Amino acid sequence: MSSLNLDDFSDLIERPDGGVRRDAEARRERQIVPPGALGRLDELGEWLAAAQAAVPVRPIERPRVVLFAGDHGIARLDVSARPAGSAVELVREILEGGRPVSVLARRLGVPVRVVDMALDCDPESLPESVVRHRVRRGSGRIDVEDAVTLDEAEAAFRAGVAVADEEADSGTDLVVLGDVSVGGTTAAGVLVAALCGTDASVVTGRGGLAIDDLAWMRKCAAIRDALRRARPVLGDQLQLLATVGGADLAAITGFLLQCAVRKLPVVLDGVVVAACALVGQRIAFRAPDWWLAAHNSGEPGQAKALDRMALEPVLDQGVRVGEGAGGLLALPTVQAAAALAAELPERPKESEAEAEAEASSEVVAEAAEAE
């Protein structure tokens, strides 16, 4: 029996300040560019103002990419284009600056933090700052066994909470959240299918490297078999993460919820993070108000999860690579929305009066024509 009380998050998480959001909307109506002319940027600026409880919205000055890493035993069924246990190679490439997320982060001046939760490698092969939260080496094959034990799931969840606290305490003002895994999209598909009550085929995508048809069928069968093990534990979210998730997914879920507690906005990257967010929504229904969907990765499981949480992606570039790359692509758009909301001047009072008079005369004219 876990000592972790997930119900506490429902009590601790508040919605972003609705009064501040209304103030931001009122300020937007007074600016020289008419409301609606900036499209989605208006909504993003108002979301950020409410999250910050500040009008005008403050610029995003200390964003951070946080990536949770792990290997999944289900990858041994050849459901991924990468060999099982090879996520450590991706982590090393990120640390050395050779992955897409590394290039984008360097260009945007955003630091990247990698947190190893369950990589299948010797922990001494990676920096201590990466491995210090590790729970175990790899995970179980979720079609026939639990990914992790309940105690390990709790430890991973608490590690995610601790990382969120570290980021909030260090002054991070927005997080781009992603994962580095092999087999992680399969585990994510199981979570989404279980929580949305759908079949395996509805949520089975082709992953970051676009697996072929045979691999897709193996992946679909693996999700189907894991679903049978997931359904009996749907009422216990921590047990669900232990059964068909993994240490990295449990940590991401804990991280997301604690960010909502700490009022730290999060940009969600791909299907793995979206699946964890869906688990987080089951735990605390107000939590998704603190999260922003970065992009549409083309993974059906991600689309299903985001639709269930009523989160609309900012971008649709077809980026499947994961690792926070799509999340970073959305960051300049969010920063632009903040800058426009804060820096566009307001109309002079005379212009406001003229606009009101013009609107009033139009109403009178329409009434006269109706008569």
pLDDT of residue 55: 94
CATH code of residue 70: 3.40.50.10210
pLDDT of residue 319: 86
Q: Compute φ and ψ for 239, nearest 5 degrees.
A: -65, -35
Segments forming the whole domain that contains residue 285: 63-339
Task: Please report whether residue 178 resides in a domain.
Answer: yes
Predicted confidence (pLDDT) at residue 206 exceeds the cutoff of 90: no
Q: How far is CA 61 from the centre of its chain?
A: 20
Please give the full DSSP string across 81-97, using - where no structure is assigned: SSPTT-HHHHHHHHHHT
What tokens were used for 366? 């329409």
pLDDT of residue 357: 58
pLDDT of residue 3: 77
What tokens were used for 48? 């950020």
Q: What is the pLDDT of residues 293-343, one digit of tens each?
A: 999 998 999 999 999 999 999 999 888 888 999 999 999 999 999 999 999
d(CA 51, CA 53): 6
| Mean pLDDT, rounded, for 273-293 | 97
pLDDT interval class at 348 (50, 70, 90)? confident
Q: Compute φ and ψ for 32, nearest 5 degrees.
A: -70, -25
| Mean pLDDT, rounded, for 197-209 | 87
Whether the Cβ atoms of residue 293 and residue 313 lie closer than 8 Å to each other: yes
pLDDT interval class at 360 (50, 70, 90)? low
Predicted confidence (pLDDT) at residue 62 exceeds the cutoff of 60: yes
* Model confidence, pTM: 0.92
Q: Is residue 323 annotated as a catalytic residue, yes or no? A: yes
Task: Please report whether residue 358 resides in a domain.
Answer: no
Task: Please report whether residue 86 resides in a domain.
Answer: yes
DSSP bridge pairs for 359: none
35-44, 291-300, 357-366: which has the minimum mean pLDDT?
A: 357-366
Burial letters for 221-243: b for 16+ Cβ neighbours within 10 Å, e otherwise?
Answer: ebbbbbbebbeebeeebbbbbbb
Q: What is the pLDDT of residues 225-267, one digit of tens each?
A: 999 999 999 999 999 999 999 999 999 999 999 999 999 999 9
Task: Please report whether residue 255 resides in a domain.
Answer: yes
pLDDT of residue 347: 86
Q: What stretches of the chain show up as alpha helix (H) in DSSP?
A: 7-12, 18-30, 40-52, 87-96, 100-108, 128-131, 150-170, 184-196, 200-203, 213-230, 237-244, 247-261, 271-283, 300-309, 325-343, 349-370
Q: Compute φ and ψ for 75, nearest 5 degrees.
A: -65, -20
Catalytic residue (choose from 323, 343, 369, 371)? 323
pLDDT of residue 354: 57
Q: Compute φ and ψ for 67, nearest 5 degrees.
A: -120, 125
d(CA 339, CA 92): 35
pLDDT of residue 195: 97
- Total structural domains in the chain? 1
Task: Please report whether residue 24 resides in a domain.
Answer: no
